[in-house]
Amino acid sequence: MASTLLLEGTICRYIDDRNGARQLVALHVPGDFVDLHGYPLKRLEHDVMALGPVRVAVWQHETLHRLTGERPDLTRMLWYATLLDAAMHRMWIFRVGRLGAEGRIAHFVAELHARLQAVGLAGDGSFALPLKQIDLADACGLTNVHVNRVLRSLREQDIMTWRSGEVTIHDPVRLRRIGEFDPAYLYIDADCPD
Amino acid sequence: MASTLLLEGTICRYIDDRNGARQLVALHVPGDFVDLHGYPLKRLEHDVMALGPVRVAVWQHETLHRLTGERPDLTRMLWYATLLDAAMHRMWIFRVGRLGAEGRIAHFVAELHARLQAVGLAGDGSFALPLKQIDLADACGLTNVHVNRVLRSLREQDIMTWRSGEVTIHDPVRLRRIGEFDPAYLYIDADCPD
DNA sequence: CGCCCTTTTGAGGAAGCTCAATTACAGTGG
DNA sequence: CCACTGTAATTGAGCTTCCTCAAAAGGGCG
């Protein structure tokens, strides 16, 4: 048993329903410990998939067990990492539960922009993102058809452009307003434990 | 700073949007460590509210810090508890993102039944639940009006009855099927770490 | 009894879905 | 260089689900 630290590329986690409809529950960027929670939980109740080529570091659970046995400070940092994940889950619930289609997409893009910027992978207003429109639909609880229409609308309003593989934000202020995005939940400038 | 262990009653966590729309992101039953994640995170990015009277135990973060410094096994158990929470968040995303109104309510009720049963607070098919219809709406990303109609439909189909404060499940099999509910993500019979 | 909160019901409208067809585009082989 | 293929994006039309607004009906409690 092992857990995966993502070094390059993109990985998502998702739950499928019995009719094949897919719901993404997490999207990981370089620096994320994709399934660290698999160490205490022992088994995962969802699936993991790479979106394109990735480079990862693999941590054996034995190693993690030894480390957490010896280093309480390090344990708290690992714990903290999984809690950031949970905070993103919560905002994901809010996004899907309380925003309309345009807001969901705007919020999702704004979050990814903030996270990629935090690890130096996003320029001022544009970044690479290897998601197809259907992946975006599966993330936001929409259909690919509707996602397509909303993306067109956002493009026509000069707010953002989504080309498969590349996102450009033309008007970050309106994007954040439409998505009601406040990055506080990402704890980007917060201190880690210890 | 302190974290709260719920002993009796019900507590929810929620995020409000700027228009006052509310989205529940967690619902806690006795035995849950409501905001244990507040210890490593240091601050919470959402709100917490009791639904009716509660009895709680308060754990000072200093105490938790001392315990986690000395007892790696205990730390892993606490960590594990927060990861169960995250697993429920993930299923919550699925519920709101991929199920229709009837499915969301059925899934939500089925989860609560399973969790309350696990702590001995639910009989065979009925249990107390101090939620108003509007709380259920806020949990499921619906309006109170639509929740009311769906509840009537579920009642008329003899699947379940929701009276404010009391839920009765008449047909657990159909309830689970409608909600596509599989309790695996609750890790009810799983081993804790160590 | 009167008040407040919650539930219930009705009617009309908007958002997003389904089904279906068309277009764009990259890769592949001739 | 071009036809051929498969995947992804785009567009259209009609429909379902759920929302909004509004009002009525219960129900507990001072």
What are the structure tokens assigned to B31, written together? 């035995």
Q: Cα separation of A150 and A83, whole Å?
A: 32
Question: Each residue of B20-73: pLDDT tens digit?
Answer: 899 999 999 999 999 999 999 999 999 999 999 999 999 999 999 999 999 999
Average pLDDT, rounded, for chain A: 96
The number of residues making up chain A comes to: 194
Task: List Cα–Cα distances, A181 to A7, A82, B18, B21, B141, in angstroms.
Answer: 27, 22, 10, 15, 18
**Helix (H) and strand (E) counts for chain B?**
7, 8
Question: Which of B 110-139 lie inside 8 A of A, CB atoms?
Answer: none
Residues of chain B scoring pLDDT < 50: none
Of A125 and A26, more confident: A26
Res A124: pLDDT:
84
* Cα A29 from Cα A25, distance rounded (Å): 14
With CB atoms and an 8 Å threshold, state whether A97 touches B23.
Answer: yes
Q: Do B68 and A68 touch (CB under 8 A)?
A: no
Please state whether beta strands B11-16 and A47-50 pair in parallel, antiparallel, or not at all (unpaired): unpaired
Query: Where does residue A117 rank: exposed (0-12), middle (13-18), buried (19+ CB within 10 A)?
Result: middle
pLDDT confidence of A81, banded at 50, 70, 90?
very high
Give strand C nucleotides closer than 7 A to any protein Cβ.
6-11, 15-20
Q: For A12-40, write each residue's pLDDT tens digit.
A: 999 999 888 999 999 999 999 999 999 99
Res. A151: pLDDT tops 80: yes
CB atoms within 10 A of CB B183: 18
Kindly report the number of other CB atoms within 10 A of residue B174's CB atom: 16
Alpha-helix runs per DSSP H in A99-124: 101-118
Q: Does domain A2-183 have CATH number 3.30.160.150?
A: no
Residues 165-184 of A with CB under 8 A from B: 180, 184
Residue range A42-75, pLDDT digits in tens? 999 999 999 999 999 999 999 999 999 999 999 9
